[in-house]
Amino acid sequence: MALSIKDIGEIDQVVGQWCLNRVPPHLKTSVDYDYEIDGQAVTIIEVRPAWQGALGEVTRQPMAKFRFVKATEQWQIYWMRSSGKWQSYEPMSEATKLNDALMVIETDQYGCFFG
């Protein structure tokens, strides 16, 4: 079951604001963040200029995923391994609120999200 319009509005507000404020304006041409909503999941994507390519071409690398589980009312937290597979983030694999899930990736003690 997909997220409700209210849930999508909250995601747009919370995650959208996080993406907007994550990088200072003068660095946004070097690195930026975006997000996509797919079913019950929100994927945060790192956006950078392509290393080799046409001017204005960018690469989009997924770096974090939050999946909402309706039965438990929890957001599961995942990080992207170098193999391209999602793995549950330990020691904090769930959060009750989306803001809390974003705080988990901000305070990433193992360097899974921001290297």
Token pair recorded at residue 68: 């909402």
pLDDT at 65 over 90: yes
| Helix 5-22 vs helix 98-106: crossing angle, to nearest 10 | 30
User: Rounded to an integer, what distance in angstroms lies between the CA atom of residue 25 and that of residue 64?
Assistant: 22
User: Rounded to an integer, what distance in angstroms lies between the CA atom of residue 67 and that of residue 48?
Assistant: 24
What is the distance, to the nearest Å, from the Cα of residue 70 to the centroid of all Cα atoms in its chain? Answer: 19
Token pair recorded at residue 48: 């950078």
User: Rounded to an integer, what distance in angstroms lies between the CA atom of residue 61 and that of residue 71?
Assistant: 30
Tens of pLDDT, residues 2-59: 788 999 999 999 999 999 999 999 999 999 999 999 999 999 999 999 988 788 899 9
